[in-house]
Chains A and B, each alone.
Chain A
C-alpha cells in the first residue's frame, strides 16, 4: 500500500538555525498539504499545493517559513530562522480527492 514519506523523522536544532523538511506524496496525488501539530492538539494547515501551485498559504508565517513543490511531486518546507515556539510535529499529507493521507511526520525540537 502506497504511503506518504517524510524525512527526517526527528530534528533537533538550535534557535536561529535553518531547518528543512521533505515530503514525497502518494504517487498521482495532485494535492499536498503541510500541517503543524502541537502536542495535544489537532493538525493545523500551514500550506496547500495543487500540483506545483500554492492554493492557500494564509496560515504560513512567511517571514520565516517557506514551502515549495517545484515539479508538482515532492515538496520541501523550510524554517529560517527557527524559534523555540516552532517545536512541534510537522506533518505532510496528500490527496487525490477528499481523502487525505498523512506521512509519519518530522518531530522538530528547537533548543
Chain B
C-alpha cells in the first residue's frame, strides 16, 4: 500500500517568514495530493490539493509543488501569520481512480508574533 512520509514534525517561524513542509510518497500510481490544516480540537480542513497532471498550484499565500519523478510534494506558506499556527497533514491517494487517502504524520507549525 501507499506510504507517506512528512517532514519536519515541528516547525517554528517568525511572523512574516515563509514555511515549507515536505512529503514523499511510495506509490508511483498516486495522482491526488491534498493538504489539510487541523487547529487544536477542530476537524481537519482541506486547504489545497494538486493532481499529478500539474506541477504547481497556488491559492493566495499557500502553494503546493509536485515532483512526480522524485515522488515528493511540498506545501509553501508565505508571509506567515499567527493564525497559520496549526498541524498540517499531507496525504496521497492509492492510485488513479482511488479516493482512499494515506496521511503523513503531520507537522506542527508555530508562527511566532
- Determine chain B's interface SS by DSSP, over half rule: strand
Query: B29 at the A/B interface (Cβ < 8 Å)?
Result: no
Given contacts A31-B99, A95-B99, A100-B34, contact A41 B44 (CB under 8 A): no
Q: How far is it, in angstroms, between the C-alpha of A14 and the C-alpha of B37 when the chains are bound?
A: 32
Q: A interface, how many residues as a size bin?
A: 20 to 34
Q: How far is it, in angstroms, between the C-alpha of A23 and the C-alpha of B68 when the chains are bound?
A: 35
Q: Which of B94-109 touch A at CB < 8 Å?
A: 99-106
Query: A45 at the A/B interface (Cβ < 8 Å)?
Result: yes
A residues bordering B, Cβ < 8 Å? 4, 31, 33, 40-45, 48, 55-56, 91, 95, 97-105
Given contacts A41-B106, A42-B104, A43-B103, contact A104 B44 (CB under 8 A): no
Q: Which residues of A contact B6 (CB under 8 A)?
A: 42
Q: How far is it, in angstroms, between the C-alpha of A109 and the C-alpha of B17 when the chains are bound?
A: 38
Q: Which residues of A contact B105 (CB under 8 A)?
A: 40-42
Q: Which residues of B contact A31 (CB under 8 A)?
A: 99
A-B contact count (CB 8 A): 51
Q: A45's closest neighbor in chain B, by CB?
A: B100
Given contacts A40-B106, A42-B89, contact A91 B49 (CB under 8 A): no
Give the residue of A41, A44, A95, A102 whose beta carbon is less than 8 angstroms from that of B43: A102
Give the residue of A42, A97, A104 whose beta carbon is less than 8 angstroms from that of B99: A97
Q: Which residues of A contact B102 (CB under 8 A)?
A: 45
Q: Which residues of A contact B104 (CB under 8 A)?
A: 42
Q: Which of A41, A91, A97, A98 neighbours the largest number of chain B CB atoms within 10 Å of its CB? A: A98
Q: Which residues of B contact A97 (CB under 8 A)?
A: 99
A102 and B32 form a contact (CB under 8 A): no
Query: B110 at the A/B interface (Cβ < 8 Å)?
Result: no
Q: Which of B43, B91, B100, B102 neighbours the largest number of chain A CB atoms within 10 Å of its CB? A: B43
Q: Which residues of B contact A100 (CB under 8 A)?
A: 34, 46, 99, 101
Q: Which residues of B contact A98 (CB under 8 A)?
A: 32, 34, 49, 51, 93, 99
Give min CB distance, B31 to chain A, whole Å: 9
